[in-house]
Structure 1
Amino acid sequence: MPIVKKLATFAAGLLVSASAFASSGGNLQQSGTDLGDVSSLQRGAQLYMNYCSGCHSLKYLRYSRMAEDLGLSEEEVMNNLNFTGAKYGEQIQVSLTPEHANQWFGKMPPDLSLIARVRGSDWIYTYLKSFYLDESRPLGWNNQLFPNASMPNPLWELQGLQHAEYGEPDKATGDRPVHGLKVATPGKLDSEGFNQAVRDITAFLEYAGEPAALKRQNLGVWVILFLVAFTLIAYMLKLEYWRDVDKH
């Protein structure tokens, strides 16, 4: 039964992801993340902790594991990336209580440990860039990729205030589709700088979804080198054996 439940959960995640992709018209932007870029992962960790960790936990990732993988010291992590008072070996949780979450958002914001594996890096990258002001929403924000998302733009300070460009109203429903987004009030970063910031956060979430991927990539190089060396030795051994066979 546990296996069946896991398969059902995985299938449901794929359906939700496919639905979101279809609703966006398939217009996902390429994130261009690189897990080999440790500097990008370090910046992503800093940005995530400052702008996202207040509401979203990473309960499958420990501060100590993050420090080891990203080349950070315990002091750097505890002083700059830990805002909940958790111990060095504990998981990354949030200080937000369920009561406050229900009051502000209607529910507890989801844990994002596996969001990159469920949605994909391109989806995260596009989502974080697709917020726009919408007075009809309870929190004053909406999202082009994920309409009626129940959260504000966490990066508005960096991006600025973005407005939607609407198309002609639908004759049946009267709804006006969002055809584009435009930053009306600039933020702290220009377009290129903001794109890099979002890319860094996306890369960090991609890493958080599978921390072992960093070590697996490094180990993969040695495995390939071993296979090449083993193949060469096997080929030379084959030549030696067949030399005796050919003589007879």
Structure 2
Amino acid sequence: MNLWKKLLLGLALAVNIVGAQAATGGIAWDKAPGKTTDQASLQNGAKIFVNYCLSCHSANFMRYNRLRDIGLTDQQIKDNLLFTSDKVGDMMKSAIDPAQAKAWFGANPPDLTLVARSRAGANGSGADYLYTLLRSYYRDGLKPTGWNNLAFPNIGMPHPLWQLQGERKPVFETREEHGHEVHAFTGRWEQVTPGAMSPQQYDAAVGDLVNFLQWMGEPAQNSRISIGVWVLLFLLVFTFLAWRLNAAYWKDVK
């Protein structure tokens, strides 16, 4: 086998692997809002995280007082985000007992500090994955938790925000692929029972939660990007000055 055939074979194998990985990830991921500079969105996302996620999932690499960076004061953190026994300087730890969590869900719920950074894949960013996941739950009586998810088939976690979203069911269509009938998701959902929020409000709330999870994975990202822009502008101005200085220095040299 010559070199070109080896390269083509390797390329085909890589494409198959990527395709298989994408297929096992469920449906295509929707684009997350990605508004990590919107403080109102981040503050609402922090409130949703504490009220609906922190009971099972921890954020052991994030302290409550770091939420000052998204515009909250210590008093606001104490009044709205802390449990009775917690302090502003504490880590964001879950209240669930790990042994009970393993008995209920089959595994201890993972820490979410870096979840938005660790879940990136062929379908998009980690934020895209989380945004799609939290909007793709449906009732499944065959599962121990009573829930399933199109973005993560056979997920062990029940729907944490079902009271806000209500119950929905995906709409499938039957079509033929390679001589076999398959049930394919049409991209549409039917509302079975209403939630406390409208679909538009729920999508906005999930976007806020995902924004917070994305910010939490790298709180200094916005500052780093801002500094990077100023550095590039400085280098651009310095390059222009150096170019003109060089031209002035050599103008009389023949």
TM-score by length of 2: 0.80
Matched residue, 2:240: 232
Q: Deviations over 1:38-75 (max 9, x none)?
A: 221111111111111111111111111222x2011111
Offset of residue 32 of structure 1 = 2.2
SS at 1:142 equivalent: strand
The size of the alignment, in residue pairs, is 226
Which residue among 121, 124, 130 is the counterpart of 2:127? 121
| 2:154 is equivalent to residue 153 of structure 1 | no
Quote the Cα distance in structure 2 between the aligned partners of 1:30 and 1:86.
35
Quote the Cα distance in structure 2 between the aligned partners of 1:111 and 1:54.
12
Quote the Cα distance in structure 1 between the aligned partners of 2:253 and 2:47.
65
The 3 A distance-change label for structure 1 pair 25 and 103 is: closer
Quote the Cα distance in structure 2 between the aligned partners of 1:54 and 1:100.
12
Matched residue, 1:27: 28
Offset of residue 210 of structure 1 = 1.0
Matched residue, 1:138: 144
Offset of residue 167 of structure 1 = 4.5
> 1:182-197 alignment to 2 at 5 Å?
182-197=190-205
Quote the Cα distance in structure 2 between the aligned partners of 1:224 and 1:24.
38
Quote the Cα distance in structure 1 between the aligned partners of 2:56 and 2:23.
27
In terms of fraction of residues, the more strand-rich structure is 2
Matched residue, 1:81: 81
Matched residue, 1:9: none
Contact 2:26 2:152 in 1 (8 A): no
Offset of residue 19 of structure 1 = 6.4
Offset of residue 168 of structure 1 = 4.8
Offset of residue 177 of structure 1 = 6.1
AA matched with 2:170: A
Contact 2:27 2:150 in 1 (8 A): no
- Which stretch of structure 1 is more off in the superposition, 146-155 or 95-104? 95-104
AA matched with 1:224: L
The 3 A distance-change label for structure 1 pair 121 and 143 is: same
The 3 A distance-change label for structure 1 pair 133 and 25 is: closer
The 3 A distance-change label for structure 1 pair 26 and 104 is: closer
Quote the Cα distance in structure 2 between the aligned partners of 1:112 and 1:84.
22
Matched residue, 2:96: 96
TM-align CA RMSD: 2.5
In terms of fraction of residues, the more helix-rich structure is 1
Quote the Cα distance in structure 2 between the aligned partners of 1:169 and 1:235.
64
Matched residue, 2:5: none
The 3 A distance-change label for structure 1 pair 26 and 105 is: closer
Quote the Cα distance in structure 2 between the aligned partners of 1:228 and 1:56.
45
Contact 1:24 1:146 in 2 (8 A): yes
SS at 1:245 equivalent: coil
SS at 2:251 equivalent: helix
Quote the Cα distance in structure 1 between the aligned partners of 2:55 and 2:239.
52
Contact 1:20 1:145 in 2 (8 A): no
AA matched with 2:85: G
Q: Deviations over 1:158-188 (max 9, x none)?
A: 1111123345599xxx996655532221212
Matched residue, 1:12: none
Quote the Cα distance in structure 2 between the aligned partners of 1:57 and 1:245.
69
Offset of residue 106 of structure 1 = 2.1
AA matched with 1:213: Q
Offset of residue 104 of structure 1 = 2.0
Matched residue, 2:56: 55
